[in-house]
Protein backbone atom coordinates (compact mmCIF):
# COMPACT_ATOMS: atom_id res chain seq x y z
CA UNK A 1 0.00 0.00 0.00
CA UNK A 2 2.81 2.41 0.91
CA UNK A 3 4.78 1.62 -2.24
CA UNK A 4 1.62 1.86 -4.37
CA UNK A 5 1.23 5.41 -3.06
CA UNK A 6 4.93 6.11 -3.84
CA UNK A 7 5.62 6.92 -0.22
CA UNK A 8 8.85 6.13 1.65
CA UNK A 9 8.86 4.64 5.14
CA UNK A 10 10.17 7.94 6.48
CA UNK A 11 7.41 9.94 4.78
CA UNK A 12 4.70 7.68 6.20
CA UNK A 13 6.35 7.80 9.64
CA UNK A 14 6.28 11.60 9.59
CA UNK A 15 2.60 11.65 8.63
CA UNK A 16 1.72 9.33 11.51
CA UNK A 17 4.09 10.76 14.11
CA UNK A 18 6.01 7.50 14.58
CA UNK A 19 9.56 6.40 13.81
CA UNK A 20 10.60 4.82 10.52
CA UNK A 21 11.72 1.83 12.59
CA UNK A 22 8.08 1.36 13.62
CA UNK A 23 7.03 1.40 9.95
CA UNK A 24 9.71 -1.21 9.24
CA UNK A 25 8.29 -3.48 11.94
CA UNK A 26 4.82 -3.21 10.39
CA UNK A 27 6.17 -3.89 6.91
CA UNK A 28 7.99 -7.04 8.06
CA UNK A 29 5.07 -8.29 10.20
CA UNK A 30 7.11 -7.96 13.40
CA UNK A 31 4.51 -5.62 14.86
CA UNK A 32 1.16 -4.07 14.07
CA UNK A 33 -0.27 -0.54 14.37
CA UNK A 34 -2.26 0.42 17.42
CA UNK A 35 -5.98 0.70 16.70
CA UNK A 36 -5.81 4.46 17.26
CA UNK A 37 -3.57 4.71 14.19
CA UNK A 38 -5.92 2.93 11.79
CA UNK A 39 -7.77 6.08 10.76
CA UNK A 40 -4.59 8.19 10.26
CA UNK A 41 -3.05 5.37 8.18
CA UNK A 42 -6.19 5.06 6.07
CA UNK A 43 -6.24 8.84 5.62
CA UNK A 44 -2.58 8.83 4.53
CA UNK A 45 -3.43 6.31 1.79
CA UNK A 46 -6.78 8.01 0.98
CA UNK A 47 -8.80 4.90 1.64
CA UNK A 48 -11.32 3.80 4.25
CA UNK A 49 -10.42 1.85 7.38
CA UNK A 50 -12.47 -1.00 5.90
CA UNK A 51 -10.23 -1.13 2.86
CA UNK A 52 -7.12 -0.84 5.03
CA UNK A 53 -8.03 -3.80 7.22
CA UNK A 54 -9.51 -6.02 4.50
CA UNK A 55 -6.86 -5.22 1.90
CA UNK A 56 -9.57 -4.82 -0.74
CA UNK A 57 -10.27 -1.60 -2.59
CA UNK A 58 -13.92 -0.57 -2.65
CA UNK A 59 -14.79 0.76 -6.10
CA UNK A 60 -18.56 1.09 -5.87
CA UNK A 61 -19.39 4.06 -3.66
CA UNK A 62 -22.93 2.91 -2.95
CA UNK A 63 -25.07 3.89 0.00
CA UNK A 64 -24.15 0.93 2.19
CA UNK A 65 -20.45 1.44 1.52
CA UNK A 66 -20.72 5.09 2.43
CA UNK A 67 -22.54 4.13 5.62
CA UNK A 68 -19.76 1.69 6.45
CA UNK A 69 -17.15 4.38 5.86
CA UNK A 70 -19.03 6.86 8.04
CA UNK A 71 -19.39 4.35 10.87
CA UNK A 72 -15.68 3.60 10.85
CA UNK A 73 -14.75 7.26 10.61
CA UNK A 74 -17.04 8.36 13.44
CA UNK A 75 -14.78 8.76 16.51
CA UNK A 76 -17.75 8.15 18.79
CA UNK A 77 -18.69 4.83 17.22
CA UNK A 78 -15.82 2.69 18.50
CA UNK A 79 -18.18 -0.13 19.49
CA UNK A 80 -19.01 -0.77 15.85
CA UNK A 81 -15.33 -0.76 14.94
CA UNK A 82 -14.32 -3.22 17.65
CA UNK A 83 -17.15 -5.67 16.92
CA UNK A 84 -16.97 -5.59 13.12
CA UNK A 85 -15.80 -8.99 11.68
CA UNK A 86 -13.11 -7.28 9.60
CA UNK A 87 -11.58 -5.77 12.75
CA UNK A 88 -11.82 -9.12 14.54
CA UNK A 89 -9.79 -10.73 11.74
CA UNK A 90 -7.25 -7.90 11.92
CA UNK A 91 -6.72 -8.18 15.66
CA UNK A 92 -6.45 -11.95 15.40
CA UNK A 93 -3.40 -11.51 13.21
CA UNK A 94 -2.05 -8.60 15.23
CA UNK A 95 -1.50 -10.58 18.39
CA UNK A 96 1.98 -11.75 17.28
CA UNK A 97 2.24 -14.61 19.76
CA UNK A 98 5.43 -15.82 21.38
CA UNK A 99 5.15 -18.91 19.17
CA UNK A 100 5.25 -16.76 16.02
CA UNK A 101 8.22 -14.78 17.32
CA UNK A 102 10.07 -18.05 18.03
CA UNK A 103 9.36 -19.31 14.50
CA UNK A 104 10.40 -16.00 12.88
CA UNK A 105 13.71 -15.71 14.74
CA UNK A 106 16.85 -16.70 12.84
CA UNK A 107 20.53 -15.99 13.45
CA UNK A 108 21.72 -12.94 11.54
CA UNK A 109 25.38 -12.65 10.53
CA UNK A 110 25.07 -9.87 7.95
CA UNK A 111 25.59 -6.13 8.04
CA UNK A 112 23.57 -3.75 10.19
CA UNK A 113 22.20 -0.31 9.41
CA UNK A 114 23.75 2.74 11.07
CA UNK A 115 20.64 3.49 13.16
CA UNK A 116 21.42 3.59 16.86
CA UNK A 117 19.34 1.38 19.12
CA UNK A 118 17.47 3.49 21.69
CA UNK A 119 18.53 2.89 25.29
CA UNK A 120 14.93 2.08 26.24
CA UNK A 121 14.94 -0.83 23.76
CA UNK A 122 18.28 -2.08 25.07
CA UNK A 123 16.95 -1.93 28.64
CA UNK A 124 13.85 -3.87 27.56
CA UNK A 125 16.03 -6.55 25.97
CA UNK A 126 18.27 -6.88 29.02
CA UNK A 127 15.28 -6.96 31.36
CA UNK A 128 13.94 -9.88 29.32
CA UNK A 129 17.26 -11.66 29.83
CA UNK A 130 17.32 -11.05 33.57
CA UNK A 131 13.72 -12.29 33.82
CA UNK A 132 14.78 -15.77 32.66
CA UNK A 133 14.59 -18.71 35.09
CA UNK A 134 17.67 -19.37 37.21
CA UNK A 135 18.62 -22.62 38.96
CA UNK A 136 17.73 -22.27 42.66
CA UNK A 137 17.37 -18.56 41.94
CA UNK A 138 21.14 -18.03 42.16
CA UNK A 139 20.90 -15.45 39.35
CA UNK A 140 24.35 -16.24 37.99
CA UNK A 141 23.92 -14.18 34.80
CA UNK A 142 24.89 -10.51 34.46
CA UNK A 143 24.90 -8.27 31.39
CA UNK A 144 26.88 -5.35 30.00
CA UNK A 145 25.51 -3.48 27.00
CA UNK A 146 28.01 -1.57 24.87
CA UNK A 147 26.67 1.21 22.66
CA UNK A 148 29.60 3.64 22.88
CA UNK A 149 31.44 3.84 19.54
CA UNK A 150 34.91 4.04 21.12
CA UNK A 151 34.34 1.02 23.34
CA UNK A 152 32.86 -0.90 20.41
CA UNK A 153 36.01 -0.18 18.40
CA UNK A 154 38.20 -1.50 21.23
CA UNK A 155 36.16 -4.69 21.42
CA UNK A 156 36.21 -5.30 17.67
CA UNK A 157 39.98 -4.82 17.69
CA UNK A 158 40.38 -8.01 19.77
CA UNK A 159 37.86 -10.16 17.85
CA UNK A 160 39.66 -12.12 15.14
CA UNK A 161 38.23 -13.17 12.78
CA UNK A 162 35.82 -10.22 12.99
CA UNK A 163 32.10 -10.56 13.62
CA UNK A 164 29.16 -8.12 13.82
CA UNK A 165 31.43 -5.16 13.02
CA UNK A 166 28.57 -2.89 11.96
CA UNK A 167 26.22 -3.60 14.88
CA UNK A 168 25.45 -0.38 16.79
CA UNK A 169 25.23 -2.26 20.10
CA UNK A 170 26.59 -5.41 21.71
CA UNK A 171 25.20 -7.16 24.78
CA UNK A 172 27.93 -9.04 26.64
CA UNK A 173 26.78 -11.97 28.76
CA UNK A 174 28.64 -12.67 32.01
CA UNK A 175 28.33 -15.70 34.24
CA UNK A 176 29.45 -16.71 37.74
CA UNK A 177 29.97 -20.31 38.79
CA UNK A 178 27.91 -20.36 41.99
CA UNK A 179 26.99 -23.76 43.50
CA UNK A 180 23.22 -24.10 43.60
CA UNK A 181 22.12 -27.57 44.70
CA UNK A 182 24.25 -30.40 46.16
CA UNK A 183 27.36 -28.67 44.79
CA UNK A 184 25.84 -28.57 41.31
CA UNK A 185 26.12 -25.36 39.32
CA UNK A 186 23.50 -24.30 36.77
CA UNK A 187 25.35 -21.30 35.37
CA UNK A 188 25.27 -22.62 31.78
CA UNK A 189 21.53 -23.27 31.96
CA UNK A 190 21.00 -19.84 33.52
CA UNK A 191 22.79 -17.81 30.87
CA UNK A 192 21.38 -19.96 28.05
CA UNK A 193 17.84 -19.17 29.21
CA UNK A 194 18.74 -15.47 29.50
CA UNK A 195 20.22 -15.41 25.99
CA UNK A 196 17.15 -17.04 24.45
CA UNK A 197 14.88 -14.54 26.19
CA UNK A 198 16.97 -11.68 24.82
CA UNK A 199 17.01 -13.10 21.30
CA UNK A 200 13.21 -13.25 21.33
CA UNK A 201 12.94 -9.72 22.72
CA UNK A 202 15.34 -8.50 20.02
CA UNK A 203 13.17 -10.13 17.35
CA UNK A 204 9.97 -8.72 18.84
CA UNK A 205 11.40 -5.18 18.80
CA UNK A 206 12.30 -5.43 15.11
CA UNK A 207 16.07 -5.99 15.42
CA UNK A 208 18.32 -8.93 14.54
CA UNK A 209 21.07 -10.74 16.40
CA UNK A 210 23.18 -13.88 16.61
CA UNK A 211 24.31 -15.99 19.57
CA UNK A 212 28.11 -15.75 19.46
CA UNK A 213 29.59 -18.02 22.11
CA UNK A 214 31.99 -20.57 20.60
CA UNK A 215 34.02 -17.85 18.89
CA UNK A 216 34.23 -15.91 22.16
CA UNK A 217 35.13 -18.82 24.48
CA UNK A 218 37.51 -20.72 22.17
CA UNK A 219 41.18 -21.39 22.99
CA UNK A 220 42.22 -17.84 22.09
CA UNK A 221 39.93 -16.59 24.92
CA UNK A 222 38.53 -13.55 23.15
CA UNK A 223 35.99 -13.27 25.97
CA UNK A 224 38.79 -12.62 28.47
CA UNK A 225 40.14 -9.81 26.29
CA UNK A 226 36.70 -8.20 26.03
CA UNK A 227 36.19 -8.62 29.78
CA UNK A 228 39.44 -6.73 30.42
CA UNK A 229 38.28 -3.83 28.24
CA UNK A 230 35.00 -3.70 30.19
CA UNK A 231 36.66 -3.93 33.64
CA UNK A 232 34.91 -7.19 34.48
CA UNK A 233 36.04 -8.71 37.84
CA UNK A 234 37.92 -12.03 37.71
CA UNK A 235 35.10 -14.01 39.31
CA UNK A 236 32.99 -13.46 36.18
CA UNK A 237 33.43 -15.14 32.79
CA UNK A 238 32.34 -13.34 29.61
CA UNK A 239 30.77 -16.17 27.61
CA UNK A 240 28.74 -14.60 24.83
CA UNK A 241 28.07 -11.45 22.83
CA UNK A 242 24.79 -10.55 21.15
CA UNK A 243 24.91 -7.86 18.47
CA UNK A 244 21.76 -5.72 18.30
CA UNK A 245 20.66 -3.58 15.37
CA UNK A 246 18.45 -3.20 12.31
CA UNK A 247 19.51 -5.71 9.67
CA UNK A 248 20.43 -4.53 6.19
CA UNK A 249 19.18 -7.82 4.75
CA UNK A 250 16.98 -10.73 5.70
CA UNK A 251 18.70 -13.59 7.55
CA UNK A 252 19.45 -16.86 5.78
CA UNK A 253 16.81 -19.35 6.88
CA UNK A 254 18.36 -22.75 7.64
CA UNK A 255 16.69 -26.01 6.70
CA UNK A 256 15.14 -27.64 9.73
CA UNK A 257 14.55 -31.36 10.08
CA UNK A 258 10.94 -32.48 10.04
CA UNK A 259 9.06 -32.61 13.35
CA UNK A 260 8.81 -36.42 13.38
CA UNK A 261 12.58 -36.76 12.90
CA UNK A 262 13.24 -35.16 16.28
CA UNK A 263 10.06 -35.32 18.36
CA UNK A 264 7.72 -38.17 19.24
CA UNK A 265 4.93 -39.23 21.60
CA UNK A 266 5.30 -41.95 24.25
CA UNK A 267 8.44 -43.64 22.85
CA UNK A 268 11.67 -42.76 21.04
CA UNK A 269 11.18 -42.62 17.27
CA UNK A 270 7.56 -43.69 17.64
CA UNK A 271 5.52 -43.36 14.46
CA UNK A 272 2.52 -41.03 14.68
CA UNK A 273 -0.84 -42.71 14.24
pLDDT score of 73: 44
Domain assignment present for residue 205? The answer is: yes
Last residue of a domain, one of 55, 75, 96: 96
Asked if 240 and 216 touch (Cβ cutoff 8 Å), the reply is: yes
Check whether residue 123 and residue 222 sit in a common domain.
yes
User: Is 71 found in the same domain as 34?
Assistant: yes
Q: What pLDDT is recorded for position 42?
A: 83
Mean pLDDT of all residues belonging to the chain = 84
- Residue 144 β-bridge partners: 172
Shared domain for 116 and 239, answered yes or no, is yes
pLDDT of residue 181: 85
**Does any domain span residue 168?**
yes
CA atoms of 273 and 270, how far apart (whole Å): 9
Query: For position 148, what pLDDT does the model report?
Result: 97
Which DSSP helix (H) or strand (E) runs through 71?
Answer: helix 63-73
Is the confidence at residue 30, as pLDDT, over 90? no
Structural domain count of the chain: 2
Strands (E), the chain: 141-146, 169-175, 237-244
The CA distance from 66 to 76, in Å, is: 17
**pLDDT tens digits for range 42-56:** 888 888 776 777 666
Is 271 within the bounds of a domain?
A: no
Task: Give me the CATH number covering residue 169.
Answer: 3.40.109.10
- Flag whether 176 is in a domain: yes
Tell me: do 128 and 74 sit in the same domain.
no
Mind listing the pLDDT tens digit for each residue in 157-182?
A: 999 999 999 999 999 999 999 999 88
Burial of 25 per CB tally in 10 Å (0-12, 13-18, 19+): buried
Question: Residue 151: pLDDT above 70?
Answer: yes
Which residues share a beta bridge with 184? 181
Q: What is the pLDDT of residue 86?
A: 42
pLDDT, residue 63, reads 39
3-class SS at 270? Answer: coil
- Name the residue range of residue 166's domain: 107-244
Residue 3 counted as domain residue: no
Q: Is the pLDDT reported for residue 214 higher than 60?
A: yes
Amino acid sequence: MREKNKMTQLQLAEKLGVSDKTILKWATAKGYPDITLLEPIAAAFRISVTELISGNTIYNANVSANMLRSKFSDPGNTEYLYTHPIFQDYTKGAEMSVIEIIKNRHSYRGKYKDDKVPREDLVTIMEAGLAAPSGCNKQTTSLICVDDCDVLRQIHAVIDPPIAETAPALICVLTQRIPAYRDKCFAVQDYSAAIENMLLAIEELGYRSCWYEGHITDDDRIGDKIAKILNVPEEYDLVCILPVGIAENEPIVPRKKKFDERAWFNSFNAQSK
